[in-house]
Structure formats: structure tokens, C-alpha cells
Structure 1
Amino acid sequence: MLPSLFLAHGSPMIAIEDNEYTDFLQNLGKSLQPKAIVVFTAHWEERMLTVSSTDEEYETIYDFGGFPPELYQVRYPARGSTALAAELKRTFEAHGITAALNHSRGLDHGVWTLLVHLFPKADVPVIQISVNPFLPVKEQYAIGQAVRTLGREDMLVIGSGVTVHNLRQIHWGQQEPEPWAVQFDDWLIEQIRKGDLDALAEYETKAPNARLAVPRPEHFVPLFIAMGSGASPLSEAKILYRGYDLGTLSYLCFQF
């Protein structure tokens, strides 16, 4: 039985960094032995839920610019699974969620920057799934609920995003987090511990500094999908890691 995870992918630089957060990811990966990995990634947006479907080795997508040359040399040669992709499509549709298959898209950095640390051998099949950031929170949660049983089959569901993600508010070289970023995460943790999905669904008006923390929701909604896919009650969620970089970029991670 595997849990569902929300993991912060933060800066693409985590793929080549050696720090407390990458140590955490490596140790977390050693504790897990999934048969397959299903990642809902903030960096793949589609109006219709779309599932990667291939048996071939994925291309590694460098969907960013301005970073050191060595980052563009990283490759994550995982393969997909057309059988699992088809099964997931059927599962979503059985829950009333329209889904499509994509046979050509590679892995974006919301996926491979985490997986190079979690499962460095790239020997576990990976399925990448898009997000629609404009669906209401409870619909995001329902997408997760549709795949809640995957953990029982030793398939690992990951929501890859960031709770506080505002690139206009980052402070280069600052390690101490800004108070407003901490306050937003504190509120988020409090609602999760209370199991208050209704409050979470209204985070835009109820959470302190919500517009600063989440100027656009694509990095935030994978959290709600991961919540929905968890086997345990929301109130039993665990904080796996909490840290900040660049003053405001949150590395808050949960297990559901």
C-alpha cells in the first residue's frame, strides 16, 4: 500500500543540487517501491485531462531557460506504459471525467527534476497527467479520488507543484522565508489538519496572502489532486518536508 504525495518541484536546479531537500527526496525514494508512478504535473496544462501513453523512452523536456549548461545535460530515460494509460483513461471516464491520451509528449521538469532523486535508475514506468488549473478545488479533489485505489496496487500518485509560487516575489540568494509566505502555508496546514475541504475550496478569499502565494493556480492544484487520491482521511495527512528558497519559494511536501 502506497500513499499519495504532494511534492514541491520548485526550481529546476534541484535536479543538479545537493542539499537538504534533495537529500530528503533521495531518502523518500529509498522508502518506496512502486510498480508505476503517476504524476500530475503543474507544467502540463490542458482543458481536458490528458494522460501520456507510450511504451517508449520519454524525451526529457527542458521547459525553462537561463540556467547553467549542466542542467540541460540531465536526462531521465524512463519509459511509459500504454496499458496503464488506457486503464487510467477508463478509470477517469468511469468517474464521469473525460480524458484523452497523448502519445508524443516528453517528461517536463515538474516530473523529472523530482524523479532523478526519487528513483535515479529510471526503471519504473511513469505516467504523466495534465492539469486544468481553472477547475474548482472540489473538482480537482474529485480527479484525485478517481485514482484513490492506485496505492493499493503499489502505484505511486504524485501531485507535483508548489504551494507558494510567485516568481515576481522571489529574492535571489535569500534563504530566510518572507513572513507572508510562511503565513499562507501555516493556514494551509491548519485546514488540512482539520480536514476542512470547504475552507480549502475557498482559499482565495479565506487564506492570508492568497493572491501573493498563488497568483496563478497551476502549481497549486496538484495539491488538491494529491489530497483526493490519498487513502487516509485528510486530517491524517503528514508533513514530509517544509523549507523555503529564494525568500518565498515553498518546498512544503505532504503525504496523504
Structure 2
Amino acid sequence: MVQNNQDLKRADVWFICHGVRIGPPTMFDFEGEGYKSWVKMGESVRASNPKGIVIVSAHWESDYTSDQGIVVSINSELDNPLIYDFYNFPKHFYEERFCSQSDPAIRKAVKDALTSEGVLIKEEKRGIDHGVWPPLKVVLGEKTTVPILQVSLPGDSSPVSTAKVGKALSAIRDQGYTVIGSGQTVHNLRDYFSGRPTPYTEPFLAAASAAVHSSDPVGQSIGLTKHPLYRSAHPTDEHFLPLVFAVAAADPGDKQHGRDKDTFALHL
């Protein structure tokens, strides 16, 4: 975990894995490392009493691109209905509830921070996906008054663009908003479901930890996309990009703590 403690008024940044390999079951794996990591995160988040939470998930990439700049999407409405974007799970998974909303203040803060850095915004009616609500339900409980706004990954799926979005949203930390990137440090479901060995997991986790704790965490994190094990760890990019986002939203002076073995939960 990584924690900002230079300025107690500046809110925190987190990178979380939204499940150990496959996300929704983590909600019920009470003895698992992923669930315990979310519980610990909840203690810290509640103690910090954030003004709101802005979160980027691997499961929403903007459908838009533009020659004029980076494009991200946000929900056009205040309500946060749940998206059950997972399949072939027991019925009770689709009966889970998590009640939350955004509010005008968090929407304005996000829009101002993004547009001031030239990031374009598209609004669309959308709920929160399983990269958001399962971990936040454990963190905040079934119903929360903490405003939550999900922001998409950039439409161009670029780690450089993702870092620029993270850097832009770093500014809202000064207003008391916690920033979260929700993805996976290793995400190869093909190997997971086939039962094949994953010898790349620990070496890539070590490389990611070294990048985050380096003197140039943003550059080194982006550079992981050139790592020889990257395509084994990430056949596609979307679960890696929230890590780049979170690292870019952090500051060089933020105190950094180590990862939890497989969950790699960073509190920046």
C-alpha cells in the first residue's frame, strides 16, 4: 500500500485488484487475501472520511476518440445502478445490492480537473460495473452516502493517455476526493480457466512493485508494457491501465507501502 502523509488534507490514491483472478466471488471469500485487503482498505477509507470517490475500472473504456485530444466518459446521471457484467455465476450474485450516487460537486470537480488539462468528456447513461461495486460494497457497506463517480479509461486505450488522465485527476485530491484505479496486476483468464501454470505471475508482480516504488513510477509503470512477460500477464491491456492511472494520480512525495501478495493493493 502507498499512503500520502505529507499533507493530511490531501486525499489518498488507491490501486486495487477487484478480485483475485476473477472478481465477484471475492465478495464472499471471507478468508481470502483479496477480501481481507478490501476490509483493510475500508478501515482506512472510512477513517479518512473522503468527500467522495472517483474510480476508474478496467471494465469501462470510452467508446470515443478524437483528433482534438484524449476522451473519457462519465455517467450522465447521479444514480449508480449496478451492472452485473459477469456470467455463469450462481443466482445470488445477481441479487447483490450496493446503493450509491454521485453528486453535482464531485461531477464538477472531475469535469474541471479534466478539462483544465485538455481531456475531453463524453457523458452517457451508465451504471457502475464489477470493477467498482463489489470492492466498494466491502469497503463502504451495502449503502453509502459517500458520492461515487466512475470515470472511464480513455477511448484510445493508451497507457500514456491513461497516465495523463490520472495526473489530471490528481488535482481533486486537494478537495478531499479519494482516487481509485481498479484492475488486476496479472490478468490472464485463459490460463486461469485452463488450469495451466502461470510462472510469469510472481516475476511480473515483482516488476510491477519495482516500477511503482522507483524514482520514476509513471514512466516505469508505462514501461512495463514492454516487459518480456507483459503479454503473458496481460493478453489485453484494460486490466493493467488502472495501475498506470493510480500511479499517475499519486505524487512523488507520497509514502508507499508494499503490496499484498496476489492482490497488489496499493494505497498511494
TM-score band, normalised by the shorter chain? 0.7 to 0.9
**CA separation in 2, counterparts of 1:36 and 1:151?**
10
Percent identity over paired residues = 28
**CA separation in 1, counterparts of 2:246 and 2:177?**
13
Q: Are the equivalent residues in 2 in contact too, given 1:35–1:154 (CA < 8 A)?
A: yes
Q: Which of 40, 47, 55 is residue 56 of structure 2 equivalent to?
A: 40
- Residues 237 and 138 (structure 1 numbering): CA distance in 2 closer, same or farther, change over 3 Å? farther
- Determine the structure 2 residue equivalent to 1:118: 139
| CA offsets 1:234-255 (integer angstroms, 9 cap, x no match) | 7x43234222xxxxxxx21112
| CA offsets 1:26-69 (integer angstroms, 9 cap, x no match) | 2221222212111101111113301224333x211100111111
Following superposition, the deviation at residue 160 of structure 1 comes to: 0.6
Matched, 1:183 2:203: yes
- Determine the structure 2 residue equivalent to 1:247: none
Q: Are the equivalent residues in 2 in contact too, given 1:53–1:86 (CA < 8 A)?
A: no
**CA separation in 2, counterparts of 1:129 and 1:159?**
10
Matched, 1:94 2:116: yes
Q: Are the equivalent residues in 1 in contact too, given 2:72–2:155 (CA < 8 A)?
A: no
Equivalent residues, number = 243
**CA separation in 2, counterparts of 1:55 and 1:191?**
36
After superposing on structure 2, the runs of 4+ consecutive aligned residues of structure 1 that deviate more than 6 Å are: none
- Residues 199 and 133 (structure 1 numbering): CA distance in 2 closer, same or farther, change over 3 Å? farther
| CA offsets 1:53-112 (integer angstroms, 9 cap, x no match) | 4333x211100111111111111111111332133122211101111222x211111100
**CA separation in 2, counterparts of 1:228 and 1:18?**
31
* Letter of the 1:126 counterpart: I
Matched, 1:49 2:72: yes
SS of the counterpart of 2:11?
coil
| CA offsets 1:190-212 (integer angstroms, 9 cap, x no match) | 1222233434323232x241111
**CA separation in 2, counterparts of 1:53 and 1:83?**
14
Matched, 1:30 2:43: yes
Residue ranges of structure 2 left out of the alignment (5+ in a row): 1-9, 65-70
Matched, 1:3 2:15: no
Alignment root-mean-square deviation, CA: 2.1
Matched, 1:195 2:215: yes
Superposition map of 1:112-191 within 5 A:
112-120=133-141, 121-132=143-154, 134-171=156-193, 178-191=198-211
**CA separation in 2, counterparts of 1:119 and 1:74?**
14
Q: Are the equivalent residues in 1 in contact too, given 2:258–2:266 (CA < 8 A)?
A: yes
Moved more, 220-229 or 146-155: 146-155
* Letter of the 2:73 counterpart: T
Q: Which of 221, 230, 238 is residue 218 of structure 1 equivalent to?
A: 238
Q: Are the equivalent residues in 1 in contact too, given 2:16–2:180 (CA < 8 A)?
A: yes
* Letter of the 1:254 counterpart: L
Q: Are the equivalent residues in 2 in contact too, given 1:134–1:217 (CA < 8 A)?
A: no
TM-score normalized by structure 1? 0.86
Matched, 1:15 2:27: yes
Following superposition, the deviation at residue 133 of structure 1 comes to: 6.7
- Residues 137 and 55 (structure 1 numbering): CA distance in 2 closer, same or farther, change over 3 Å? closer
Higher relative contact order, structure no. (Cα contacts within 8 Å, ≥ 6 residues apart): 2
- Determine the structure 2 residue equivalent to 1:107: 128
Residue ranges of structure 1 left out of the alignment (5+ in a row): 244-250
